[in-house]
A and B are shown apart, each in its own frame.
Chain A
Amino acid sequence: MRKFIALALTYAIVQVLIMTNVISGYFQATLVTVCINIILAVSLNLITGFTGQFSLGHAGFMSVGAYVCALVTMRISTIPGFILGVISGAIAAAILGGLVGLPTLRLRGDYLAIATLGMSEIVRIIFLNMEITNGAAGLNGIPQFINWTWLFIFTAGTVLFLANFVKSAHGRACISIREDEIAAEAMGIDTIRYKVIAFIIGAFCAGIAGAVYSSYFYFLKPDLFGFLKSVDVLVIVVLGGLGSMSGSILAAILLALISTYLQSFPEIRMVLYSLILVIIMIFRPQGLMGSKEISLSVFNKLGRNKLWNITKSRKGGL
């Protein structure tokens, strides 16, 4: 209950701020970026932080979602068309997620990372050379459907669904894979199935993020979704803490603000990001939040059902 009140409040406040133009056009773009990054970060966190599968190809899933949605909405420029676009973009991304997941599943951490990177690059090169995506010139004039309401629905929806998933038995199965894959198998958990599930869900959400991107920024080209984009998301997840949903949200907001501030100095931004990665890994590998979550016990003085929180602190990353 408390959750819903907090969410409704957030929605209302921002909506008012937008309508009264406190949050003007420039900041609106930042807001959209923050929300897209939140969706990307929590979904990558599911794959890498909770299930322990190091994926460097998240941008590939996003780009599939973005392009498919754009191609649909450019032909059916209505709200139902938009909804269709988002759904088909997400599903297309999810299918890619399953395809990526299946063969790469028995690879060890670093190999898996390279394989996912390779897959994402293959996707980028394919989009670069396809006619329907207009190759390097990209797609322009994509109908814009994203407003705060849609944005809020997608962002809050993704975060809620994923947070719920992680607290369920299926989420626990994913976490057990990260903890000790062999023991998890021995306890009856189909590790292959759950790894694929994690990839599919993660990719689905990244697809949504991509659809949101194309339906707001109205211009797409393949190079937007290269390795650098995957690294961007990785930095957010690492900074926030692998295995912490609230950490991802915090870090997404923080880094979006930094990004916007450093917009005119892209090299400095990247140097800063790279230093963040190195320094965090050496000095605080659990990131800002470790694997703890911000609990709403600030608003709730009663005791918590321990199932709600997966609270632990970890050292040493995965």
Chain B
Amino acid sequence: MPILSVEKVTKSFGGLAAVSNVSLDLVEGELVGLIGPNGAGKTTLFNLLTGIYMPDTGTISLSVDNERIPLKGLRPHSICQKGLARTFQNIRLFKDLTVLENVLIAMHQNIKYGLLTSFLHLPAYKREEGKLVEESIELLRIFDLDKKKDEFAKNLPYGEQRHLEIIRALATNPKLLLLDEPAAGMNPAETANLMDVIGWIREKFDLTILLIEHDMTLVMNICERIYVLDYGMVIASGTPEEVRTNKRVIEAYLGEDVGNA
């Protein structure tokens, strides 16, 4: 059973179809890319998957432990708790909180103490908090951010902020990770490093990854399969090689004339 199953999903905003009849499947453990020109509906699709928007038609389901969980209609926090995490295109870190606090908040589901304990700071609180801090620092080590754990998130350089976005998503214990333009604004060296890290976290955390990207080097190099969106519709899907030579894809990116050349 595919881990993520999206069937004929449509979303319109005031007459304009942002996402139109989109279907896609993700097999467990895959690393899949989602590309397309600006405005094609990629982030909208992510928003639909994570429950920020409600699809007009179609179904979305997650399969965990052979159980099919319909996601349509669930609130974003429930979807996150079911195992689907994401990063945001325009970084949405908690800017005025520290790096560590950002990760701690994402660990919320692992909290094992209730409200009463939090009022009284009973021993359970100290124990649990200690554990959480340790686990958070472990995660921060992936990107060498543990040294900066007490920095305010807004003071991090842009690249590290993007890294923190990813760590935060990992902290929610996902099975499926959606990365929205993780390499945006990165130079080639940083992008190369990112490619390694994405591969590494997929192994280490047993993840399935769907990523939106404009950086073709990254996409063509690490994605096993690619879906191409244009005007809200899937116009092609397949291996990087297949997609690269697909006429419709070339037209979508470069215009019809070049496609016909």
Asked if A and B touch directly (CB within 8 angstroms), the answer is yes
Instruction: Please report A residues at the B interface, Cβ cutoff 8 Å.
Output: 161, 164-165, 167-173, 175-176, 179-180, 182-192, 197, 291, 306-307, 310, 312, 314
Question: A172–B106 contact, CB under 8 A?
Answer: no
Determine whether the beta carbon of A188 is less than 8 Å from that of B81: yes
Which B residues lie within 8 Å of A168 (CB)?
Answer: 113, 117-118, 121, 125, 129
**Complex formed: what's the CA distance from A173 to B120 in Å?**
17
* Pairwise interchain contact B152-A184, C-beta atoms closer than 8 A: no
A193: nearest chain-B partner, CB-CB:
B77
State whether B94 touches A176 (Cβ < 8 A): yes
Identify which of A171, A188, A312 contacts B77 (C-beta below 8 A): A188
Q: Of B76, B104, B117, B152, which is within 8 A of A185 by CB?
A: B76
Chain A min CB distance to B77 (Å): 5
What are 21 A-B contacts defined by CB distance under 8 Å?
A164-B119, A167-B121, A168-B117, A168-B118, A176-B97, A176-B105, A179-B96, A180-B92, A183-B92, A183-B93, A185-B77, A186-B50, A186-B52, A187-B77, A187-B80, A188-B106, A189-B108, A190-B75, A190-B77, A291-B96, A314-B96
* A residues near B115, Cβ cutoff 8 Å: 165, 170, 197
Interface size of B by Cβ–Cβ distance < 8 Å? 45
* B interface SS class: helix
A157–B118 CA distance with the chains assembled, in angstroms:
14
Residue of B nearest to A180 (CB): B92
Closest beta carbon of chain A to B84's beta carbon, Å: 10
Min distance, Cβ A36 to any Cβ of chain B, angstroms: 21
Docked-complex contact B121 and A164, CB < 8 angstroms: yes
A318 to B106, CA, bound (A): 22
Tally of contacts, chain A with chain B, CB under 8 A: 111
Question: Which residue of A is nearest B150, CB measured?
Answer: A306
Which residues of chain B are near A186, meaning CB under 8 Å?
Answer: 50, 52, 76-77, 80, 85-86, 88, 92
Tell me which residues across on chain B come within 8 A of A192, comparing CB atoms: 75
Q: Tell me the bound Cα distance from A298 to B95 in angstroms.
A: 29
CB-nearest residue of chain A to B172? A188
Which B residues touch A167, using CB under 8 A?
121
| Interchain CA distance A312-B154 in the complex, whole Å | 11
B38 contacts A by Cβ under 8 Å: no
For the complex, is B109 an interface residue (Cβ under 8 Å from A)? Answer: yes
Distance of A188 Cα from B121 Cα, bound (Å): 23
| B133 beta carbon closer than 8 Å to chain A | yes
Judged by a CB distance under 8 angstroms, whether B194 is at the interface is no
Q: Does B1 contact A (CB under 8 A)?
A: no
Q: Are B119 and A188 in contact (CB under 8 A)?
A: no
How far is it, in angstroms, between the C-alpha of A310 and the C-alpha of B97 when the chains are bound?
8
Query: What CA separation (Å) do A40 and B108 show in the bound complex?
Result: 29
**In residues 227-244 of chain B, which contact A (Cβ within 8 Å)?**
none
Closest Cβ neighbor of B152 among chain A residues: A312
Which residues of A lie under 8 Å from residue B88 when comparing CB positions?
183, 186
Q: How far is the CA of A190 from the CA of B152 in the complex (A)?
A: 24
What residue of chain A has the Cβ atom nearest to residue B168's Cβ? A187
